[in-house]
Amino acid sequence: MSEAARSESADAAVQAAVAGELRLLDPEVRRSPELVGALLHPDFHEFGASGRHWDRAATIDMLATETETETETETEPGAAPVSTSRMRGVQLSADVVHLTFDTQDNGLHVHRSSLWRRSDDGWLLYFHQGTPFTV
């Protein structure tokens, strides 16, 4: 494979992982266990910004519950969606992409790191970690 073909392949892999990550931040996706489940690897786990360890099932349940609670109790009209910055990705191997980025949500800033694995179902989130930081 030529260098140009490898670079194009790596760019496509990173773009697929970024697209998946951004979908997971979309409130419409987050409130749907089916849509979230379609983006998470069967062996997914996360070390959350809270310090808690989450597996796939707990993450799907938490996102659906969190979104329902926020929708029912939201008191601030026009509350800002989660914003991302400094999104970068690198293909570590043919089937693994590492993304790093920051999020800001209602004043909470978090450095994030995700590993995406290629599977028969496409690129799936395998591991995620969030670390809070102050500005």
pLDDT tens column, 55-92: 999 999 999 887 554 544 343 334 457 888 999 999 99
In a 13 Å sphere around the CA of 57, the CA atoms on its Cβ side amount to 0
Token pair for residue 30?
């987050």
Q: Where are the beta strands (DSSP E) in 7-52?
A: 40-47
pLDDT of residue 76: 39
Name the nearest CA neighbour of 46 among 133, 126, 132.
126
pLDDT score of 133 more than 70:
yes
Residue 7 in tokens: 């670079």
Three-state secondary-structure class, residue 31:
coil
More confident: 135 or 44: 44
* 3-state secondary structure (DSSP) of residue 69: helix
Res 50 pLDDT > 90: no
| Inter-residue contact 101 to 86 (CB < 8 Å) | yes
- Given the DSSP bridges, would you call strands 122-133 and 40-47 parallel, antiparallel or unpaired? parallel
pLDDT tens column, 22-33: 999 998 899 999
Which pLDDT belongs to residue 66?
76
Q: Does residue 7 carry a pLDDT above 80?
A: no
Q: Give the pLDDT of residue 74.
A: 41
Query: Where in 6-95 does DSSP place strands (E)?
Result: 40-47, 53-55, 83-93
pLDDT tens digit sequence for 94-118: 999 999 999 998 889 999 999 999 9
